[in-house]
Amino acid sequence: MAAYEIIKIGEKSWRFEENGVRSFLFEGENAALLVDTGYGSGNIKEAAEGLTKLPIQLVITHADGDHISGNKYFEKARMHPAEFDRFHNGAGKGLTAEALWENEIIDLGGRKFEVILIPGHTPGSIALLDRKNRILVAGDSIQAGMIFMAGGGRNIDAYIFSMKKIAAMADLFDTVYPSHGPFPVNADIMPALITGAQNLKDGKLKGEAPPFETNAKVYDAGAAKFLF
Ligand SMILES: [Zn+2]
């Protein structure tokens, strides 16, 4: 079985579906951008090179294992420095991490992505905003699947502030490209996600044991589920 299902999602844009996690490749005129590398079950670098002849820059939305385990095929990756600790103590051990700062513009030539810092799911989680195409690549933070908010580095207060920050930018994007769950997600998910996270924080949601072993519980917030 192929490690990835590669699906074209727009002009010079692809998603890589790998056993429940999603990575993205975007091609500009001068360079290509790979967002995340998944579980590493196949060589994602070779897979991406099969789609573009341009040099590929690797950026990760955050350093959880399901987003960086294919980084081993690349010399380096860019991420927010608040993820360095998580990266180097996880699947990024021994690999080179370079700083990607908030508001930085990744310019591929004719196509730009703007870095937006959204801590909460992890300290240095980022979203990438393509203003021209009105798309937000959101990692795990904005999705209609299960958002992991249990374990080290997660912070529900930071998450709520980050989602309010994104909601305030609602006039800049229509579509969210999430790393898990249904694809794509409409930008109008934001108010329900904020309400859901606030209800979770306030203890208003009822938790249920998930189908895998953990001390955390699953809380159905309507727009998404939270593991907390
Ligand atoms: Zn994930």
168 and 207 in contact (C-beta within 8 Å)?
A: no
With 0-12 / 13-18 / 19 or more C-beta atoms within 10 angstroms meaning exposed / middle / buried, residue 9 is middle
Please give the structure tokens belonging to residue 107: 């310019």
What are the residue ranges of helices labelled H in 50-152?
Answer: 65-68, 84-88
Q: What 3-state class would DSSP assign to 86?
A: helix
The Cα–Cα gap between 108 and 42 comes to 25
Rounded mean pLDDT of 33-42?
A: 97
Expressed in percent and rounded to 5, the helix, strand and coil fractions of the chain are 20, 30, 45
Domain span holding position 84: 5-227
Please give the structure tokens belonging to residue 204: 């208003």
Neighbours of ion ligand 1 (CB under 5 A): 66, 140
Which tens digit of pLDDT belongs to each residue from 66-106? 999 999 999 999 999 999 999 999 999 999 999 999 999 99
CATH number of the domain where residue 164 is located:
3.60.15.10
| Residue in 70, 158, 74 with CA at minimum distance from that of residue 119 | 158
Centroid of ligand 1 to alpha carbon of 63 (angstroms): 9
Centroid of ligand 1 to alpha carbon of 139 (angstroms): 7
The Cα–Cα gap between 165 and 98 comes to 25
**pLDDT tier at 3, thresholds 50, 70, 90:** confident
Tokens 């690349």 belong to 74
Centroid of ligand 1 to alpha carbon of 40 (angstroms): 13
Least confident of 111-125, 154-168, 203-217: 203-217
Centroid of ligand 1 to alpha carbon of 52 (angstroms): 25
pTM value?
0.97
**Per-residue pLDDT at 196:** 98
The Cα–Cα gap between 185 and 189 comes to 7
Which tens digit of pLDDT belongs to each residue from 98-119? 999 999 999 999 999 999 999 9
- What is the total count of domains within the chain? 1
Centroid of ligand 1 to alpha carbon of 72 (angstroms): 17
| Residue in 177, 172, 129 with CA at minimum distance from that of residue 24 | 177
Centroid of ligand 1 to alpha carbon of 205 (angstroms): 22
**122 pLDDT above the threshold of 70:** yes
**32 pLDDT above the threshold of 70:** yes
DSSP single-letter state for residue 193: H
